[in-house]
Structure 1
Amino acid sequence: MPRYVALLRAVNVGGTGKLPMTELKAMCIDAGFADVLTYIASGNVVFSSKLAAAKVKAALEKRLQAYAGKPVGVVVRSADEIAAVLQANPFPNEPPNTTVAIFLDEPPARNALKDVKGQQDEQMRLGKREIYVAYGSSGMGRSKLKIPAAVQGTARNINTIAKLA
């Protein structure tokens, strides 16, 4: 049975989208997913399912909307895809806690970084369905970086991706 990772967008970050991980786990079990594990409170869940990734995404989004009363973005990757994202990190010498992959549903356009605003010392690279960002010395908290192509994505730092993998 395939193993998946679901990454929820804007959950338990900065006081928005409160969702206890026990509730998320219960939703996954209710959807028929097996071997469900959550990782930290920012909307990361690992599980097994016989369903295809698109059906997993739809089942989880339906339950999350019923719970939250509004759409909650979900990105789904297979376990192998998560491992590949980690391996493809174009910034292996940058600190893993300030280097992120922004997960997208679709591959980014080749010119996805053209309209970036507020770039200081951040480095960016496109992945298969990700945008990698290594935040420079100013760090994520002080960064003014805006990536329009990533607005519907959800970011995880390399440390989190490694744990999920």
Structure 2
Amino acid sequence: MKTYIAFLRGINVSGKHKIPMAELRELCGSLKLRDVKTYIQSGNVVFKSELENATELEVVISKAILKSFGFEVPVIVKTSSQLRDILNNNPFESEDEIIRKQVYFVLLNDVPKVEELTKFKAEMYKNEEFLISENCIYLKCKVGYGKAKLNNNFIERKLKVLATTRNYRTMHKLLDLSN
């Protein structure tokens, strides 16, 4: 069995798309996912599965949420080794607590097309830096993510791919939970 992390996009934000974590764990268990753990209310699920296809897991979880809760939730699934690689390749890694609170990971469900990537790489915003990898945009927001121009919605619109964003602390905690 492989260990996976599911990142649900846009749940429990501003009172919309509410999914209690206990119900989410129960739902995932009913899908034959094992050792299900959730972390904070923003939709992070660590689990084990015999399925070897992350895309298939994304569809299964998303459809189950629609059936159980009545709304669509985009889901991005990564293996624990993919998550480890993303964290190991972070160009903004630092022991400095201030820096770590400025670092975000925008997880992509697909590799963006070359045309969109080329245009996006030309974007520049004061107090924001980014580096694009195949499945993640590493983002450093010097004045905080809440004020960032390069937010999740902007990135999805520009790159025409599904994305979800997590902070440094959440990503490291999820890796710990997946080990």
Same fold (TM over 0.5): yes
* AA at the equivalent of 1:96: R
TM-superposed CA distance for 1:96, in Å, is 2.1
Match among 93, 108, 112 for residue 108 of structure 1: 112
In structure 2, the residue matched to 1:19 is: 19
Aligned residues: 164
Q: Label 1:21 to 1:118 Cα distance change in 2 as closer, same or farther (>3 A).
A: farther
* AA at the equivalent of 1:144: K
TM-score (norm 1): 0.90
* 1:14-163 equivalence runs, <5 A: 14-52=14-52, 53-93=54-94, 95-110=99-114, 111-112=116-117, 114-115=119-120, 119-136=125-142, 138-145=143-150, 146-147=154-155, 148-149=158-159, 152-163=162-173
CA distance in 2, matches of 1:75, 1:139: 24
TM-superposed CA distance for 1:113, in Å, is 6.3
* AA at the equivalent of 1:97: K
3-state DSSP class of the match of 2:110?
Answer: coil
Any conservation in 1 of the 2:108–2:161 contact (CA below 8 Å)? no
TM-superposed CA distance for 1:155, in Å, is 0.4
Any conservation in 2 of the 1:102–1:150 contact (CA below 8 Å)? no
TM-superposed CA distance for 1:142, in Å, is 1.9
3-state DSSP class of the match of 1:42?
Answer: coil
Unmatched segments (≥5 aa) in structure 2: none
Unmatched segments (≥5 aa) in structure 1: none
User: What percentage of residue pairs aligned between the two structures are identical?
Assistant: 34
CA distance in 1, matches of 2:14, 2:141: 19
CA distance in 2, matches of 1:59, 1:20: 19
Any conservation in 1 of the 2:10–2:17 contact (CA below 8 Å)? yes
Q: Deviations over 1:53-98 (max 9, x none)?
A: 2221121011111123232100000011111111111111372232
* AA at the equivalent of 1:102: V
Any conservation in 2 of the 1:90–1:132 contact (CA below 8 Å)? yes
